[in-house]
Structure 1
């Protein structure tokens, strides 16, 4: 027997051993799923009525316009038969080659075998033909309400993405090549990754996007030096160490969203918004929200405004001795900062000198990509969930956000982790993305029903803290920074609400990129530019048409705006005050609390 034959025999034996281990791990997987606590069905899919309405519209179209429907079907049949005949013709000729391929490029099919191998190419082309047929059928549906049409489009897209041949072991050449190359070890490692993720989430499948062992809060992430100078049940107040001898007299208070942790603004030194602000000579304070457990079930928007925003503003004023402060609100915190400003206006409180809103929605008349999840069937399910659990658990929100970009945030990572056995990357942004917070039950209900669904802040006012709050009350100088490709808070929707504020001084900026990358965009990277236009009375498209594009980050431009609101320079401040002793070092204790499962 030759050496080559010996090597082949050893590889085959090792492959068979690993495949036997796969079977053993499969039994362990079945055991986990047997004891899995199922998530509520109404949080997994829409009400059946949606599909019934779609089916009814389809059959109605068949009756009223059969030619149109049959035309779409015949186009698919024609493509499929021609595709099959072309493949067969090459085989008969003895050519081990793929037929002509005019399908569009798709990053999922980057392996050359998708183009050259007749089997994989046939699968790819047929999948894309089928996907196009489904999309055309949905596009041609008449007789549906716009929101129903949008939801059908979303859920049909989910089915299309789920059924891609890349998602199955036997039809993914990358996975098969890796299995052969590693003698099946990649399948063992993949199953171990899958089982680990399931065990960590009580049987609920949440794809781990980052290597959690690679980061430690306060050691190599969230490391900007500072102190905790105040704490209540809602937040810790962080005061960051000055790096300049002189600072602006008016302090800056940042409210991050409480859906995630504040350190999105302090991932590492090179892209830390907090460090950059300190270096520009600002006295920077940041709210670090509590990660609520079930005891916070009765905490609502009232408490976030009163014990959160108003309390933080009061404490920063007391610590610095200033009558006014500048504020920043990011995402949902920007929405709530608007609510707070309305309340302060009605109470005659002028503590806020200026407000900056990052990717902030206030007018929810167009719900954008979240439309599928903001209808009664899903919100009813969330109401039932929070009635039972006391809070809207973080992983439910994380899953919803992920499926808005399912190929990038669900299927792609799942293939690499579970089918190819790769360790998730040590990526700080993805680590932060997985380190979420839950929402107190009452707060989640108010936000979803009164703001998102009923749009009360714009339409008639929302009753909070004993007052009726309206967006038109906001009249302090404001600056809004939005992001061109943001799918969470689309810039045009942010602009629509921004225009309704009655502030005499308004600045609006559109940064390139999305919800995170467009904001966390340090000047040193020289990566994304931004658009500016001083005429904020224009319609959104007109505003963009007349806007000037500037290379580089929006941070320096905003710094010029903010410095004009920040008073004279004074000697840099010490931490806290006599009545605000240092409680511990930044990043504090609240940021390290993990979300309740």
Structure 2
């Protein structure tokens, strides 16, 4: 594709502003074949019509109802409270308008200075690295340069309007800031053909063929989402569960209505006497810990001598509507512990819980403490919150009104559709997980490359109504677990009753279970807690095999006092935290026994990864 002279002198990645601006640099933006462009625009409209038909079809049949107005109403209601503050006082209104207009005037002045070759103009411009604006013409071309600066200035101004508004309660301010970020991300000039230099050039160079293909992909993705847009983030055709993903050898050794229990084949002559039980989240599927042989935590743990058992949760439907936390604790964790005993004869187990699976595990440990069940002798929590005071942006979606509305919707089907949770998680990082794919897929017409992690991310699961309602109300809304007010199986739970050793892993850049939230939660357990913070985020911070040599982790003293003080004094170690965790496990009990055969006294039901994980939402 022709780049034109607008990129001349930009090979080193540095911008020189408009000095020496060559009018010929606009040639890549001039339509060369109007007839071909017109034909492709007509085809684009045709494909867009196909997309609209795919969206309308399930609604016309009555099988899908939209409630898009509900979050929009909440957003308008929230932002109106910010507006009320600024509009209630004419002086404040004038000051806010003056700030914005003054910024625009400064941009215009710098633009004129650049066009005259003034070297001080670029130096005065605030520097902000932003991969959305990496194309050289965002700076070299006067039109796009002005758009970029105006967008950044307006976004900053909108953020300040929220942060400087007085009289807002903490939850309203949090929601307002989140909604402003979502609007800013959506309205970025990088997301539109006529305001993105690269998209503009590609559209001209291909006479609009990119848009034809993009709208065709849009229609396909709406059909795949049964009337909702299922944003493709990877080439899903390149993956097959059990063939090139979730491949670790093992067997399903037990199952019930809630889960299957998998046991993995040992690969060492001896194994640790205590088996290892992994309780993954049911919001996603367990094979994030078994993406491929190189990344698989499950395979690595087997190679260290662990007898690994994993809970594979059912992908629920209307039959599971009343399965609540008690069911998941007893028919999930409890059932898996019974299975391990039958398969190995062991009464003592090391357990791992990931994300909400870790929250369930922590609550189950508190329940077991009251019941006198001592089978779990140590617990490891991966990016798990037990206290939700600092729960991050997911709290935006959780207040009494929104939960009541969600519960009303779930009554109609008995579950929450997996795509709703997937969208919420993607919105936490919309600039990385939504808009780049929107631009590349539907405006550039480019197929995304295959990526196992994003395939897993798109393989969403449903949530049973009773389970999800309990989780949102007891954890995010009312924070009952750390207040000693959560009731499961008729018992009021206290994490202070949990005396076993805890390995509490957080991830520094986690948007779902913030590291500070995990740190604060450490203080509620009644026994010794080892707090470790890994580099990266909610997934990459956990799935970080030692052989890759990536990232780092921090260790320090007991997780007491302020989180920021702990971080300052923590010791940084390059690479994966996995060996550190394994050493922690062995220091608790390194007794070994001859390797165990899959299932032991149990007959296997089917090969791992089992059938439950293959059910798609």
Scaled by the length of structure 2, the TM-score of the pair is: 0.90
Q: How far off its partner does 1:201 sit?
A: 1.4
Partner of residue 329, structure 1 = 353
Residues 374-393 of structure 1: pairs in structure 2 closer than 5 A: 374-393=398-417
Q: Is the 8 A contact 1:361 1:493 kept in 2?
A: yes
Partner of residue 544, structure 2 = 521
Q: Is the 8 A contact 1:353 1:565 kept in 2?
A: no
Residues 46-445 of structure 1: pairs in structure 2 closer than 5 A: 46=74, 48-60=76-88, 62=89, 66=91, 69-84=93-108, 87=111, 100=122, 102-103=125-126, 104-445=128-469
Residue range with higher mean Cα deviation, 37-46 or 204-213: 37-46
Cα-to-partner distance string for 1:336-386 (whole Å, 9 max, x where unaligned):
111111111111111111111111111112332222111223212211211
Q: How far off its partner does 1:70 sit?
A: 2.9
1:581 to 598, 603, 610: 603
Give 3-state SS (helix, strand or coil) of 2:94's partner: helix
Cα-to-partner distance string for 1:196-250 (whole Å, 9 max, x where unaligned):
1111113222321111101110111100111111111111111111111111111
Q: Residue 30 in 1 paired to residue 52 in 2?
A: yes
Q: Residue 39 in 1 paired to residue 66 in 2?
A: yes
Partner of residue 4, structure 1 = none
Partner of residue 593, structure 1 = 615
Give the Cα separation in 1 of the matches to 2:278 and 2:285: 13
Q: How far off its partner does 1:23 sit?
A: 2.4
Cα-to-partner distance string for 1:438-473 (whole Å, 9 max, x where unaligned):
110001110001121111112232111121112111
1:18 to 40, 44, 68: 40
Give 3-state SS (helix, strand or coil) of 1:414's partner: helix
Give 3-state SS (helix, strand or coil) of 2:434's partner: helix
Q: How far off its partner does 1:88 sit?
A: 5.9
Residue range with higher mean Cα deviation, 238-247 or 73-82: 73-82
- Listed as ranges, the gaps of 5+ residues in structure 2 are 1-29
Q: Is the 8 A contact 1:73 1:133 kept in 2?
A: no
Cα separation, partners in 2 of 1:564 and 1:141, compared to 1, 3 Å: same
Give the Cα separation in 1 of the matches to 2:52 and 2:360: 45
Give the Cα separation in 2 of the matches to 1:137 and 1:54: 7
RMSD: 2.2
Q: How far off its partner does 1:310 sit?
A: 0.6
User: Number of paired residues?
Assistant: 580
Q: Is the 8 A contact 2:48 2:216 kept in 1?
A: no
Give the Cα separation in 1 of the matches to 2:603 and 2:173: 57
Cα-to-partner distance string for 1:392-441 (whole Å, 9 max, x where unaligned):
11111111111111111111110000000010220100110111111100
Cα separation, partners in 2 of 1:167 and 1:243, compared to 1, 3 Å: same
Q: How far off its partner does 1:577 sit?
A: 3.1
Give the Cα separation in 2 of the matches to 1:99 and 1:29: 46
Cα separation, partners in 2 of 1:536 and 1:161, compared to 1, 3 Å: closer
Cα separation, partners in 2 of 1:380 and 1:43, compared to 1, 3 Å: farther
Give the Cα separation in 2 of the matches to 1:581 and 1:237: 12
Q: Is the 8 A contact 2:507 2:535 kept in 1?
A: yes
Partner of residue 554, structure 2 = 531
Give the Cα separation in 1 of the matches to 2:484 and 2:296: 39
Q: How far off its partner does 1:11 sit?
A: 5.3
Scaled by the length of structure 1, the TM-score of the pair is: 0.93
Q: Residue 546 in 1 paired to residue 569 in 2?
A: yes
Q: Is the 8 A contact 1:343 1:467 kept in 2?
A: yes
